[in-house]
A = this chain, B = another copy of it.
C-alpha cells in the first residue's frame, strides 16, 4: 500500500516556478534559498540536490526569461528594420515584466544560452541587412547596449530624479541654466518615447552606414 502523504517530489521546474513567484510577490530582497525553501515546504538543503548553488539558480531563471523572446506563436518579421525593432521591443517588454530580476540579470557576468540566441538573431538580421561582419558585430553591441541601458533606466525610473521638484531652490544653488525649458519635457516624457527615439537614432545611423558602404 503506497503512502498517502507522498508529496510531488521537488523538481527543478517547481523550484524555478516558485522562485519566480516569490521574487515577483515579495521582491528580490526577500528572496533567499531559505525563504524559497520555506515556500516550497522543504528543508533549505533539499534545493541543493537539484542545483549546485544560488548563482546557478539565478542563471536558470535568466535563461527562462530570455526563452520568452522566441515565443513560437509570434514569428519575427522578415524585413530587417522591423526585425530589429521587434527584438528590441520584446527585450523591453521582458525587462518590464521581470523588473525585479532584471537589474541583477544585467549585472551578471554570464550570458544565458537564450541570451546568446538573442544576440545571434540580432547579428543575423544585421548581416541580412547588408552590413559587413565587423560592422554587424559593432552595431549589434550598440543595440544590445542601448536596450540594456534603457532597461535599467526605465526600471529604476532614473532621470525622474535628474531635476528636483523644487525648481526655485535648485536654480539658486546650481549653474544649470536650462531648468525652466526642460522641466516640462522631463516630467511629461515617458521612457517609452525615449526608447523609440533611441531606436530611431540607431536605425538612421545603420541606414547611413549602408549607403556610404
A118-159 CB contacts (< 8 Å) to partner B: 119-120, 123-124, 127, 133-139, 141-142, 144-150, 152-153, 156, 158-159
Q: How many identical subunits does the complex contain?
A: 2
Contact A156 B108 (CB under 8 A): yes
Q: A167-210 toward B: CB 8 Å interface, digit per residue (1/0)?
A: 00000001011100110111001010111111011111110110
Q: Which of B146, B158, B182 contacts A142 (CB 8 A)?
A: B146
Compute how far the CA of A33 lies from the CA of B187 in the bound complex, rounded to whole angstroms. 37
A148 and B197 alpha carbons, distance in the complex (Å): 17
In the bound complex, residues from chain B placing their C-beta under 8 Å from that of A198 are 138-139, 141-142, 145-146
Q: In the assembled complex, which residues on chain B have CB atoms less than 8 Å from the CB atom of A195?
A: 141
Interface residue? A107 (CB, 8 A):
yes
Partner of A148, one of B109, B120, B142, B153: B153
A119 with B201: CB separation less than 8 A: no
Extra contacts, 17 of them, besides A106-B152, A145-B147 (Cβ < 8 A), are: A103-B107, A109-B158, A120-B162, A120-B178, A124-B176, A127-B178, A127-B182, A133-B184, A133-B185, A138-B197, A139-B201, A141-B191, A145-B146, A145-B150, A148-B152, A201-B205, A202-B202
Residues of A within 8 A of B (CB): 103-104, 106-111, 116-117, 119-120, 123-124, 127, 133-139, 141-142, 144-150, 152-153, 156, 158-159, 161-163, 174, 176-178, 181-182, 184-186, 189, 191, 193-198, 200-206, 208-209
